[in-house]
Amino acid sequence: MTKSVVLASASPRRTALLKQMNIAHTIQPADIDESPRLNETPLSLVSRLAAEKGLAVKAKLASKQTLTDDTVILASDTLIAFNGQSVGKPENKADAKRILTMLSGNTHEVLTAISVLNNTRQQTQVITTSVTFAALTNEQITAYWETGEPADKAGSYAIQGIGGEFVVSINGSASAVIGLPLYETRQLLNEFGVVS
């Protein structure tokens, strides 16, 4: 029986990666509160958010009576961890400049959680990738903000875009930094009966 894959995300990057994997899917964005809890570690936060996004979409599909035994939901969340602290999307230009200045010349971790669930079970996994940035000047950071690219990205940069020019090295999954680790996503979807 063919599984019906639902992506619990409005991210065009995640959709593109799923298409690259030849996995047909529909899109149902999750609307949850992404605020961190008190003393929540980056690992706990990213894992919880991916799992909660999946559950929110499952509840939405159930309320519309479109959730079936063949429905498989894929949710994901990505955040940056620097010195043990979570770094999300920038609030504004000043925040983006603060984040990029902090990452400049340093190594940070990109944590991407994937959560797959169906009617009966849910499994969540976190993939960690180390990314090292070159030293950035104030002028480079300002010019980059003006492109509009950093505004909605975790850590204020897109590795697959202009922000990739700042990356000296990457250790781990490049696709996870973009938003969906290809290998792990396929393995997890296969466990839920999704084959492409």
77 is a catalytic site residue: yes
Candidates 33, 69, 70, 77; catalytic one: 77
> What is the C-alpha to C-alpha distance for residues 131 and 80, in angstroms, rounded to an integer?
10
Cα 17 to chain center, whole Å? 12
* Nearest alpha-carbon partner for 194 in 28, 9, 10, 25: 25
Token digits of residue 107: 């190594």
Q: Is 44 left (phi over 0), alpha (psi -120 to 50) or beta?
A: alpha
Residues annotated as catalytic are: 77
